[in-house]
Amino acid sequence: MENQDIKKAGLKITLPRVKILTLLEKHGGHLSAEDVYKILLEEGEEIGLATVYRVLTQFEAAGLVVRQNFEGGQSVFEIDSGDHHDHLVCLKCGKVEEFLDTTIEKRQEAIARKLGFTIKDHALVIYGYCDKPECNQD
Amino acid sequence: MENQDIKKAGLKITLPRVKILTLLEKHGGHLSAEDVYKILLEEGEEIGLATVYRVLTQFEAAGLVVRQNFEGGQSVFEIDSGDHHDHLVCLKCGKVEEFLDTTIEKRQEAIARKLGFTIKDHALVIYGYCDKPECNQD
DNA sequence: GATGATAATGAGAAATCTTCTCATTATCAT
DNA sequence: ATGATAATGAGAAGATTTCTCATTATCATC
């Protein structure tokens, strides 16, 4: 029940928050603030774009969603399912694949340790072309 | 001689281009377009911000510089020394460390192959706190 | 060295994404 | 039901980057 998640985050349960969280859960994928805004509009919900940004930022701070800053464009958000993963993004069609590689994760920690850093977060995005015929090559 | 690099890129040798390339080489680190603009102003060069953006983009396309999109803020540029590397960024003081890990690089290729992607580029940034006393913790 | 086709520049406008402001409205503990 | 407080919506504003276009500079050719 997403209402409990919102409450646990110290936020009041409001229609915009419930709708946005439900939408992200239902969709599953990676949505930008504007995507969320437009889908809500299509569903007949009159929720302001500023509210969408505000709520997504609050959800991020609360650990309910994760923000990804893919290059060139807007941030995208996805439900924080708890299992960290990195991303592969197709530069042609925009398809996003997720992956997790424990070897890479461990190497990162070793590197940070060696250089005296305490890891707070990390972003690994591989950009390329996926295997669809219209995306292949060049 | 940086003039030859500019010429090889199919660009005319102009004062803004020479100044910007020289500045990046001299500085060595990671500079935003605005950093470059301000430093040039301090040096008495009247080069417009639009020109700085334009030239940096051209240099990137020509492979002379590399653009990094660290989270939250402006892109930064550095001379493309040829040796690819990834970055560690301190969230407190902004210090940037570079590293290269062949294990990670190889794993990325394996992952892309498995998922049917042709790698074009990738971005790995580790965010954390460096070992300076004022940056440590929280 | 002068000439001219073409490319580059500078300044400000504009585009894009995101945050802020503030008056109005909704939530929720009592 | 009431009231303190938080949340919302709309538009303005901020931040970064790109675009437009008139003016100027570059460089191959003469």
With a 7 Å cutoff on the CB, does A92 touch strand D? no
pLDDT for A30-60, tens place per residue? 999 999 999 999 999 999 999 999 999 999 9
Q: Which residue segment(s) compose the domain that A69 sits in?
A: 2-79
And the tokens for A72?
């060139």
Does A91 reside within a domain?
yes
Q: How many residues does chain B have?
A: 138
Q: Which nucleotides of C are covered by protein (CB under 7 A)?
A: 7-13, 16-21, 26-28
Q: Is the pLDDT reported for residue A84 higher than 90?
A: yes
Query: At a CB cut-off of 8 Å and minimum separation 6, what does A85 contact?
Result: A98, A99, A100
Query: Does residue A13 sit within a domain?
Result: yes
Residue A136 lies inside a defined structural domain of this protein:
no
A96 touches chain B (CB under 8 A): no
Q: Are residues A20 and A66 in the same domain?
A: yes
Task: Examine the pLDDT at A1 and tell me if it is beyond 70.
Answer: no
Q: End of a domain among A62, A79, A96? A: A79
- Residue B9 sits in the same domain as residue B32: yes
At A106 the three-state DSSP class reads helix
From CA A123, how far away is CA A15, in angstroms rounded?
A: 32
* Total structural domains within chain A: 2
A103/B111 Cβ within 8 A: no
Q: Is the same domain home to A64 and A9?
A: yes
Q: Are residues B63 and B110 in the same domain?
A: no
Q: Is the separation of the CB atoms in B117 and A126 below 8 Å?
A: yes
Q: Please answer whether residues B18 and B2 qualify as being in contact, where contact means their C-beta atoms are separated by less than 8 angstroms.
A: yes
CB atoms A136 and B118 under 8 Å: yes
Based on the domain organization, do A96 and A67 belong to the same domain? Answer: no
**Residue B134 belongs to some domain of the structure:** no
Average pLDDT over every residue of B23-52: 96
Given A45, A64, A79, the domain boundary residue is: A79
> Within 13 Å, how many C-alpha atoms sit on residue A38's CB side?
5
Q: Which bases of strand D sit closer than 7 A to a protein CB?
A: 6-12, 15-20, 25-27
Condensed to tens digits (0 to 9), the pLDDT of residues A89-111 reads 999 888 999 999 999 999 999 99
- Residue pointed to by tokens 């709708």: A19
CATH number at residue A37: 1.10.10.10
Q: Does A108 touch chain B (CB under 8 A)?
A: yes
Same domain? A38 vs A71: yes
Whether A50 and A7 share a structural domain: yes
For the segment 40-59 of chain A, residues whose CB is within 7 A of strand D? 46-51, 54-55
pLDDT tens per residue, range B30-43: 999 999 999 999 99
Whether residue A20 is found in the same domain as residue A44: yes
How far from B15 is each of A59, A79, B23, B31, CA to CA, in Å? 48, 50, 12, 19
SS3 A41: helix
Average pLDDT value over all residues in chain A = 94
Asked whether strand C has any atom less than 7 Å from the CB of A12, the reply is: yes
B68 with B53: CB under 8 angstroms?
no
CB contact under 8 A, A88 and B112: yes
| Residue A135 located in a structural domain | no
Q: What is the CATH number of the domain that holds A119?
A: 3.30.1490.190
Q: Are residues B10 and B74 in the same domain?
A: yes
